[in-house]
Amino acid sequence: MSRTPVPELICPAGSLPALKAAVDHGADAVYLGYRDDTNARNFAGLNFDRKAMLEGLRYAQSRQRKVLMAINTFAQPGRVADWQRAVDGAADLGVDAVILADIGLLDYASRRHPELRLHLSVQGSATSYEAVNFAHREFGVRRAVLPRVLTLAQVETVIRNTAVEIEVFGFGSLCVMNEGRCWLSSYATGESPNTVGACSPAKYVKWEKSPGEMSTRLNGILIDRFGDAEPAGYPTLCKGRFEVNGDTYYALEEPTSLNVLEVLPEIAAIGVAAIKVEGRQRSPAYVAQVTRALRAALDELARNPDHFHVKPAWQAELAHVSEGSQVTLGAYNRPWR
Amino acid sequence: MSQGFSIPRFKLPALVASLGARLPQWPHSLALATGLNAAARIGLLPADSLALLEGRSFLVEVLDAGGQARFTYRDGLFRPLWKAPKSPETPDLSFSANLSAFLQLLARQEDPDTLFFSRELSIVGDTELGLVIKNMLDAIELPQLPNLAAFRS
C-alpha cells in the first residue's frame, strides 16, 4: 500500500523513562538536554547526566530513532566555554543533531564540527525565510524550528522560499508564542529561558491555598486566583488574569495547549518536515499519551490522506493532558499577518 | 499508560475520611519513609537530587482517605516526623490529592501537571522543591511490568 510522506514526529524527553516512552510509542526523534543552563528546560532534577544520555542514545538509535540535543540558551558573559563544551560533548556522543539558538554558538559549531547537523532552535526566533536562509548560508543550518506566532500561510511562504527543512510545533503548552524574544519572565524575575534556561523559574513561584481558592504569585506579583473547580495553568505572566480598563481577564493568553490535529493534512501538504511536541518538563505518562495520539493520527494521514478524519479518541487524549484542560489551533488559523 | 489496565478516577466515601482522620497517622509516615529509604538504598534516587532535600519537611495528604504522612530527609535518610495531624508547623512542601490521583501518579498513568491543571493535585510550599521531587520520581527506571492485557484473552 502506498503511503503519503508525513512530517516526522519529534517528542520531548526530560528523563530516560520519558525518552523510552517516546520511542516505544512511535516518536521518529526525541529531543533532550544536559542537566544545566545550556538548555531552555533547566529545571531542578530534570534532564540527562552523561550516564543517562549514553543509555538514551543507545536506546533510541538502536531502534533507528534520532536523538536531537537542545543547547538552545544563549551563552552568558564570561561563560562562553560552557556552551562550547556542551556542543563538543554532543558531537562526541554522536547525537543526530544539535538544536542551537545563539548565533555565536552556531558559528562555533559550524567551524569546529562541520559534520555535526545543526537545527535552529525556536529560541533563535527566525520568523522569515530571510532569517532561515541567513542561518543556512552562514552556518549550514539544515532545519529551523519556527516560532508559534506564524499562521499556516506564513509557514508555507517560508517553506517555498528556503531549502532548509522546517519544523513547527504540533502540540503542547502555549505561551505568547514569541519564543526567544519574550521579556515577560525577565520583567517579573530578572531571569528568562534565554539567560537561565527557564521561564518563570520555580524558585519565584508561590501557590497559596485558602478556603475555596488558590492564588499564584510570581516573585510576589499576583498572577491569577482560581476557584476550586477552575482549571489551572503554569505560573507565567502570559497566563495571568489582569485588570485592564476595569475588566479582569486573561489579557495576554489563556492557559491552553496548542493542538494541530485538525490541520494536520494542511501541515503535511505545505511540506512541513517535522512536528514537535512541547513538554520536556512533563512526565513519562504525558509523553506516552501525546506520542501515541499523534503517531496514530500521522499514520492515519499517511494511509488515507484524502479522507483524513480526526478521531475523537485522539482529541480526548490530547485535551486531557492540556494546560487549562483546553486546546487551540493557536496562530495557525488566525487572520493576522 | 498501560493499555490493558487503568486506574479509574474515584473518590472514597466521606465516611472513610472522617474515620481515617481519627486514626493515628504515624504508620503512614513510617511506611512512606521506609519505602523511600529502600528506593534510595538501591540507587533509584540520584544523589544530586537527594542532596537538595536535606533538612526539608514534607507532607503527603490523601484527602478522601483522611490520611497524612509527614517526613523529612536528614543525613542520608528519610525520617518520619511524629507530629499530630493538626500540628501548626507548616511543612516546606505539601502534596494533597485523593487516593485515585496518587495511585494514577504512582502507576505513571497520569502526569502530575495534568492532575495539577485539572485541580486534582494540589502543591503548596516551596515550588522548586516540588519540582526536584517530581523529577526525581520521574527519572526512576521502573522494572518492566508484565503486559496485563495479555492475561485477559
Which chain A residues are within 8 Å of B122, Cβ to Cβ?
A: 207, 209, 214
Q: A263 pLDDT band (50/70/90 cuts)? A: very high
Distance from CA of A133 to the nearest CA of B (A): 38
% helix, strand, coil for chain B, step of 5: 40, 20, 40
Asked if B136 reaches chain A (Cβ–Cβ under 8 Å), the answer is yes
Task: Determine the residue among B44, B98, B119, B144 to mutate to test chain A binding: the one whose Cβ has the most chain A Cβ atoms within 10 Å.
Answer: B119
pLDDT at A60 over 60: yes
Asked if B117 lies within 8 A of A233 by C-beta distance, the reply is yes
Beta carbons within 8 Å of A246's beta carbon, 6+ residues apart:
none
Decide if A249 contacts A265 (C-beta within 8 A). no
* Chain segment A197-225, per-residue pLDDT in tens: 999 999 999 988 889 898 999 999 999 99
Spacing of C-alpha A187 from chain mean position: 22
Using a CB-CB cut-off of 8 Å, the residues of chain A touching B108 are 17, 283-285
B54 vs B47, residue with greater confidence: B54
Q: What pLDDT score was predicted for residue B148?
A: 47
More confident position, A136 or A176: A136
Helix (H) or strand (E) holding A87: helix A80-93
Helices (H), A100-212: 103-112, 129-139, 152-160, 184-189, 193-196
- The nearest alpha carbon in chain B to A280 belongs to B135
Residue written as grid cell 476595569 = A246
Grid coordinates belonging to A18? 520519558
Where are the alpha helices (H) located in chain B, listed in sequence order? Answer: 14-20, 26-41, 47-51, 99-106, 112-117, 127-138
**What are the tens digits of pLDDT across the range A283-322?**
999 999 999 999 999 999 999 999 999 999 999 999 988 8
Contact B114 A281 (CB under 8 A): no
Give pLDDT, residue A331: 85
Does A289 contact chain B (CB < 8 Å)?
Answer: yes
Helix (H, G, I), strand (E, B) or coil at A177: coil
Domains recognised in chain B with CATH numbers: 14-139 (3.30.1050.10)
Distance of residue B113 Cα from the nearest chain A Cα, in angstroms: 7
Position B153 scores a pLDDT of 38
Provide the terminal-to-terminal Cα distance of chain B, rounded to the nearest Å: 20
Residue appearing with cell numbers 539558538: A101
Contact criterion met (CB < 8 Å) for B139 and A17: yes
Tell me the angle at which helices A103-112 and A129-139 cross, rounded to the nearest 10 degrees.
30
Domains of chain A: 8-174+256-333 (3.20.20.60), 184-250 (no CATH)
Cα of B76 to nearest chain A Cα, Å: 17
Buried b (16+ CB within 10 A) or exposed e, B16-42: bbeebeeeebbebbeebbeebbeebee
Q: Quick one: residue A117, left, alpha or beta (phi over 0 = left, psi -120 to 50 = alpha)?
A: beta
pLDDT of residue A336: 58
Determine how many CB atoms are found less than 10 A away from the CB of residue A165: 19
Rounded Cα distance between A172 and A170, Å, is 7
- The minimal CB distance from A285 to the residues B1, B48, B118 is found for B1
Question: What are the two backbone dihedrals, phi and then psi, of residue A204, each rounded to the nearest 5 degrees?
Answer: -95, 0
Q: Which of A44, A209, A228 sits opposite B131 (nearest CB)?
A: A44
Chain B partners of A209 at a C-beta cutoff of 8 Å?
122, 124
Closest chain A C-alpha to B34 CA, distance in angstroms: 22
Task: Calculate mean pLDDT across residues A24-50.
Answer: 95
For residue range A66-121, list pLDDT tens digits in order: 999 999 999 999 999 999 999 999 999 999 999 999 999 999 999 999 999 999 99
Q: ipTM of the predicted structure?
A: 0.85
Lowest mean pLDDT among A9-13, A22-26, A206-210, A323-327: A323-327
| The one-letter amino acid at A84 | Q
pLDDT at residue B3 greater than cutoff 60: no
The response to whether A11 counts as a known ligand-binding position is no
Q: Report the mean per-residue pLDDT for chain B.
A: 81
What mean pLDDT, rounded, does chain A reach? 94
Please tell me if residue A15 touches chain B, with a CB cutoff of 8 Å: yes
pTM given for the model: 0.90
- Measure in Å the smallest separation between the Cα of A323 and chain B Cα atoms: 6
Residues of chain A contacting residue B123, judged by C-beta atoms under 8 Å apart: 207
Residues 44-63 of B with CB under 8 A from A: 46, 48-49, 52
Please give the pLDDT value at position B8. 81
For the ranges A290-294, B44-48, B66-70, the lowest mean pLDDT is seen at: B44-48
Decide: residue B90, CB within 10 A, 0-12 exposed, 13-18 middle, 19+ buried.
exposed
Q: Does B87 touch chain A (CB under 8 A)?
A: no
Contact B60, B69 (CB under 8 A): yes
Percent of chain A with pLDDT strictly greater than 70: 98
Q: Would you call B117 and A324 a contact, using CB atoms and an 8 Å cutoff?
A: yes
Name which of A69-73, A90-94, A262-266, B130-134 the model is least confident about: B130-134
Q: Percent of chain A, pLDDT > 90?
A: 81
- The pLDDT of residue B150: 46
Least confident range from A55-64, A147-156, A224-233, B8-17: namely B8-17
Q: In angstroms, what CA-CA distances link B74 with B77, B78, B91? A: 5, 6, 15
Task: Tell me what pLDDT residue A329 has.
Answer: 86
A158: closest CA of chain B, how far (Å): 34
- Burial environment of residue B73 by CB neighbours within 10 A (0 to 12, 13 to 18, 19 or more): buried
pLDDT at B152: 42
A217: its cell numbers = 504569585
Q: How far apart are CA A58 and CA A68, in angstroms?
A: 13
d(CA A292, CA A289): 5
Distance CA A10, CA A250 (A): 30
